[in-house]
């Protein structure tokens, strides 16, 4: 396994006005930096142009597909990542359209890389979105790690300053998730170097 830090992209999936996602994402970024084995890039989908109209040729068939102006930097950052963590709410028992657009506009950027999840919502803590995302990323030849972080009733768990009122449980869950991402990320990074993936 590699001894160098892995490039971890933390993807903030909600672009809704007034979203709570940045609070959760910044908390997780801090956990990942403290872990010590990741170089962290916070990717906020609100900063990218994400048209819902997909190209006539799927990215799976044309990996070098030209993308709309404003998406090139997102594509570069996703391609540079060794692992991902998706921060997502539940919207109507699913995940945001912005997140689906970002996923569907790309293909090789996800392949043979591990994906973890941090969910938040009023009732389920984002678990409904996470379970659907596992199926989506499996279709893209990514590996979703088992453990996750979940914040049900997130508005009760964070203070107005954006800090957790009781951090012990979430911090421990983040450590487990990051440990799994480190192992899978290192193994898959080595595999990509030694055996380029051709099973797509």
pLDDT of residue 1: 55
pLDDT of 65 higher than 90? no
Is 90 exceeded by the pLDDT of residue 62?
no
Torsion, CA 48, CA 9, CA 134, CA 171, rounded to 10: -120
Question: Rounded to an integer, what is the distance from CA 95 to the centroid of its chain?
Answer: 12
Fold designation for 6-194? Rossmann fold (3.40.50)
DSSP state of 55: P
Q: Please tell me the distance from the alpha carbon of residue 20 to that of residue 199, in angstroms, as a whole number.
A: 38
Q: Using one digit for the tens of pLDDT, what is the confidence trace for 145-181?
A: 999 999 999 999 999 999 999 999 999 999 999 999 9
**Residue 146 is encoded by which pair of tokens?**
């088992």
> Which residue shows structure tokens 């950027």?
109
Tokens 């199926």 label which residue?
A: 135
Taking the C-alpha atoms of residue 127 and residue 26, their distance in angstroms, rounded to an integer, is: 20
pTM: 0.95
pLDDT tens digits, one per residue of 79-105: 999 999 999 999 999 999 999 999 999
Report whether pLDDT(2) > 60. Answer: no
C-alpha to C-alpha distances, 83 to 17, 48, 67, 153, nearest whole angstrom? 27, 20, 22, 28
**156 vs 80: CA distance, rounded Å:** 36
- For 172, other C-beta atoms within 10 Å of its C-beta total 11
Domain ranges of the chain: 6-194
Cα dihedral value 22, 24, 25, 31, nearest 10 = 140
């Amino acid at each position: 396994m590699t001894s160098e830090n892995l490039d971890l992209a933390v993807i903030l999936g909600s672009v809704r006005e007034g979203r709570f996602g940045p609070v959760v994402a910044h908390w997780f970024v801090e956990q990942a930096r403290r872990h010590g084995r990741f170089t962290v890039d916070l990717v906020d989908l609100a900063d990218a142009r994400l048209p819902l109209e997909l190209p006539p040729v799927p990215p799976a068939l044309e990996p070098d597909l030209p993308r709309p102006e404003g998406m090139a930097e997102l594509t570069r950052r996703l391609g540079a990542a060794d692992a991902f963590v998706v921060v997502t709410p539940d919207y109507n028992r699913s995940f945001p359209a912005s997140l689906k657009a970002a996923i569907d506009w790309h293909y090789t950027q996800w392949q043979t890389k591990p994906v973890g999840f941090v969910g938040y919502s009023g009732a389920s803590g984002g678990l409904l979105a996470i379970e659907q995302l596992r199926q989506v990323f499996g279709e893209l030849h990514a590996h979703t790690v088992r453990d996750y972080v979940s914040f049900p009733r997130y508005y009760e768990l964070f203070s107005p300053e954006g800090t957790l009122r009781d951090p012990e449980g979430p911090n421990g869950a983040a450590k487990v998730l990051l440990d799994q991402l480190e192992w899978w990320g290192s193994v898959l990074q080595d595999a990509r170097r030694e055996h380029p993936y051709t099973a797509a």
